[in-house]
Amino acid sequence: MTHSIAHPLLAGTYTTAERAKVVTELLDAMSHFTKPGGEVLAYTGIQTVYFLTRTHPWLGNAWPEYDGAERVAALIRQKEQAGTGLPCIVRAKGNTVNKTWPVAAQSLATFWGQEGARRVFEEFEKRHGYIVVWSNDFFEILTTTQ
């Protein structure tokens, strides 16, 4: 862990070269799709993105996939019924719990039943016409076409 990420909130923090690359790319890309103070839906174990982009969790929870499918579906329904704007979505393609990510990243974690909540997110994305507008080797950003 000898590489830094050029970000004011990560001063003095070191990581692997591969991780520094994909995180730097994500943070640069996020600035084109959301602004500080905005709401984002981040899932697949990347809650730190809120801190680094100074954004807020759209569902009010930085770890929404751990709430379970029924709770996530209810929160999304509330947001849809309230007519709030649709968020920019960011997600990881691999498991951030794996200490080697993004190299040899394992499949997404399922140890707390996160796959049910992820299915709810995927249904939400389809319902609102979300598409991947940016990706790198490890992360994706989605926005709606509606």
Please report the DSSP string for 81-132 in residue order.
Answer: HHTPPPPEEEEESS-TTSTTTTTTPPSPP-TTSHHHHHHHHHHHHHHTTEEE
Q: For the chain, give every domain's residue range.
A: 3-144
* Contact by Cβ (8 Å): 23, 136: no
Region 44-58 average pLDDT: 93
Residues 15-36 have pLDDT tens digits of 989 999 999 999 999 999 999 9
One-character DSSP codes across 4-22: E---GGGTT-EE-HHHHHH
Q: What is the pTM of this model?
A: 0.90
* Contact by Cβ (8 Å): 90, 140: yes
- Give the pLDDT band (50/70/90) at residue 64: confident
- Give the pLDDT band (50/70/90) at residue 79: very high
Residue type, position 97, single letter: V
